[in-house]
Amino acid sequence: MSYIQNNQDRLRFAWLSNNGLTYKRHTQIRQEYEDFYTAYEDDFCRINDEKFVTKFKSLKPKIDKEILKLHNTLMEQDIYLQTLPDKPYPPILRSLNEPPLAIFYQGDISVIYKLPKMITVVGSRDVSEYSKEIMDKILGKICQSGVGVVSGLAYGVDSYSHQICLDNHAPALAVLGMGLDKDIFYPKEVQFLRDRIVDSGGLLLSEYLPTTPGNKFTFPRRNRILANLTPITLVVQAKSESGSMITANEAFDNNKKVATFPAHIGSKGYDGNIELIQKKVIIVTEPKDILGELGVAEVRSKANKIYKDLSEKDIMIVEALKGQIRSVEDLTKDIEGLTFSELMVSLSMLELKGIVKNAGLNQWKVV
């Protein structure tokens, strides 16, 4: 018999995972009950946790109303759910010391299985020009070689690393410190990246109910997932007392490798880098410092270098043309917010760059 037998119980379990049901309590409940339904109907009374049982009894009258709202949100926004007792629950998350009881995701869950050849990238929201330059130079080539990026999609290093990753067509995974509901997502400045990750076949992941806003507790808790998903955590730019250093320490504690860029001498905000270098982490001065650790050969792709210089609009056009020949009229319908004349100008510029080609009769394809 499955521990969770139907979707209603799955939704109840997921909702409770954000309302008092911890991993420790879940373990106790599984020891006392054969299945979740029996435990739920019994008000979890067999476990020796009066505080939780009392809270649950106060919540129980409204739970079914709440899970109906949850179900509607999942359906409306194409958000998917897996719970820890489910067989498909990702093994890499199950192996955490305190795995999320429920995960909500958008995009392609198979990205999870590419994690051994991906890296976690963290750093300051106030990213310097030096850090951007070194990320362009080194992280860009790492991604050109097929290595994907896991990050938190915050402003600064997170969003910049994901932009580099997507520009080089590498796998992208973002672990959010909030729910996946678009209405509560921030920073709004990187909303386009969130959409682009999903549209490119990447993955958005959260352990929080979709309408949960980010706060001072959700972001640090998210860091344990960031630190454990990939073999290497790369700290780009960090102060000693920062979320990035918390993530690095989580990686250390779980025998994961940590890497960092050399600190920019004389600039503020790199004392975390200096602290990490003193701990003898991997110092990254060229792509092979990361690629060698992953057993990945460096690939030099002229096409990827060209893509890196494209605008968001041009990338949308190229992605829409991949693997097929399409008319201008068809592209205009498919790409929202782009007029016929704007599309023709962009196609002409892309043709000059050798990226697309007119196949005749105003039909276009990627070269």
Q: Tens digit of pLDDT for each residue in 257-303?
A: 999 999 887 777 999 999 999 998 999 999 999 999 999 988 755 55
The CA-atom distances, in angstroms, between 160 and each of 166, 191, 309 are 10, 13, 14
Whether residue 304 is predicted with pLDDT greater than 60 in this model: the reply is: no
Q: Is residue 193 part of a domain?
A: yes
Tell me: do 132 and 204 sit in the same domain: yes
Assigned domain for 1 exists: no
In this structure, the answer to whether residues 330 and 196 fall within a common structural domain is no
How many C-beta atoms surround the C-beta of residue 16 within 10 A? 26
List the CATH number of the domain containing 357: 1.10.10.10
**Shared domain check, 126 and 171:** yes
Mean pLDDT rounded to a whole number for the chain:
92
Q: Which amino acid, 35?
A: D
Q: Are 280 and 288 in contact (CB under 8 A)?
A: no
Please check whether residues 117 and 210 belong to one and the same domain: yes
Angle between helices 191-199 and 312-321 (to 10 degrees): 10
Structural domains counted in the chain: 3
Strand partners, 102: 83
Residue 233 lies in a domain: yes
Instruction: Give yes or no: residues 129 and 50 share one domain.
Output: no
**Spatial separation of the C-alpha atoms in residues 175 and 214, rounded to whole Å:** 12
Domain identity same for 152 and 273: yes
- Residue 119 belongs to a domain: yes
> 341 lies in which domain range?
310-366
pLDDT at 349: 86
Please state which of the ranges 18-22, 202-206, 313-317 shows the lowest mean pLDDT: 313-317
Tell me how crowded residue 72 is: count the other CB atoms within 10 A of its CB.
Answer: 10
CA–CA dist 225, 355 (Å, integer): 38
State how far the Cα of 71 lies from the Cα of 210, in Å rounded to an integer. 10
Domain closes at, from 77, 98, 121: 77
What pLDDT score does 307 carry?
Answer: 59
Which domain-ending residue is among 294, 323, 351?
294
Tokens of 60: 């129980």
Q: Measured between alpha carbons, how far is residue 102 from residues 18, 161, 273 in Å?
A: 9, 27, 34
Question: Does residue 344 sit within a domain?
Answer: yes
The reply to whether 97 falls in a domain is: no
| pTM score above 0.85 | no
